[in-house]
Amino acid sequence: MPLPELARELAERYDVTVLTEQPDATAFLAQHGDAFEYVVTSAGVGLSADVVRALPRLRCVSSFGVGFDSLDKAALVAQGVRVGYTPGVLDACVADMAMGLLIDAARRISAGDRFVRAGQWSQGRFAATTRVSGKRMGILGMGRIGSQVAQRAHGFGMQIGYHNRHAVPDSPHTYHASLHSLAQWCDFLVITAAGGGATRHLVDADVLKALGPQGILVNVARGSVVDEQALVQALQDGTIAGAGLDVFEDEPHPLPALLAQDNVVLTPHMASGTHETRRAMADLVLHNLSQCIETGTLVEEVPWSAQAAATTNA
């Protein structure tokens, strides 16, 4: 469980079984799976099709996190399971982190820290860096988090463009019909798009080439959105200037070549990891669960779960 307090509060309110504590989870589910109607999980842990099918009476999943690509959509929809998650409450902290990574990557704050600690300052001045204010920011995924990033970028006097599958009605920002066009236009490309098959490796070698040798990539969404091998190559050969990454394709194992690059800032998927946000996420997990038990509805429901429920009840 991502938050000890949440595990404790669940145990205080409900009869809880922790699947990972079972010596043989598969055997346990085969024997007892039909006893469970509700599951609490997280975006990091997810829920596989095998587990879903082993729970024939499953009614609701309450997930700690905004991502839902680790929850098996087909299996959950097939069984008519409603799926809750925790959007909204983490938007501000993730947007803060995006700006922090952007500023660090552009101004090379972490690199400057290493420079001072290594005693190199006495041997010469630190190299000039890239200005942030007044530049062009491109946002891939103008949803709730993307909108929060745009608000912050506006405070830095930036021009803001974005790419979604469709333009956002009444958005004050410039819509680019293709990601390649957005990458060509912007100085900083910030990824806040959802993960999953539809966005896998959307940021590839061609997009990075379009971003260009002065461009900086920031990812606070899902590692799968970026072709990490292509990114390493782009950082190594100067195709782009730098990157700030909070997420990776194979967590917690970033490519070793990334670790060797001084022009990339790496953080351990911590964008939503503040005390305030984690508490709010836990509260929403509990609220989703209790409301589903009482009424069969959710406070915040994963879009495809809500669509499936609407179709079923139509």
- Contact assessment for residue 198 and residue 222, using Cβ atoms and an 8 Å cutoff: no
Instruction: Tokens for 275, please give them.
Output: 């005390």
Pick the catalytic residue from 144, 152, 269, 279.
Answer: 269
Q: Is the peptide bond preceding residue 252 cis, with omega within 30 degrees of 0? A: yes
- Contact assessment for residue 237 and residue 261, using Cβ atoms and an 8 Å cutoff: no
The total of other beta-carbon atoms located within 10 Å of residue 3's CB is 16
Pick the catalytic residue from 108, 163, 176, 222.
Answer: 222
Distance between CA atoms of 139 and 175, rounded to whole angstroms? 10
Pick the catalytic residue from 5, 8, 57, 251.
Answer: 251
Is-catalytic flag, 251? Answer: yes
Is-catalytic flag, 269? Answer: yes
Is-catalytic flag, 222? Answer: yes
**Pick from 150, 165, 149, 138: nearest CA to 240:** 138
Could you give the residue numbers annotated as active site? 222, 251, 269
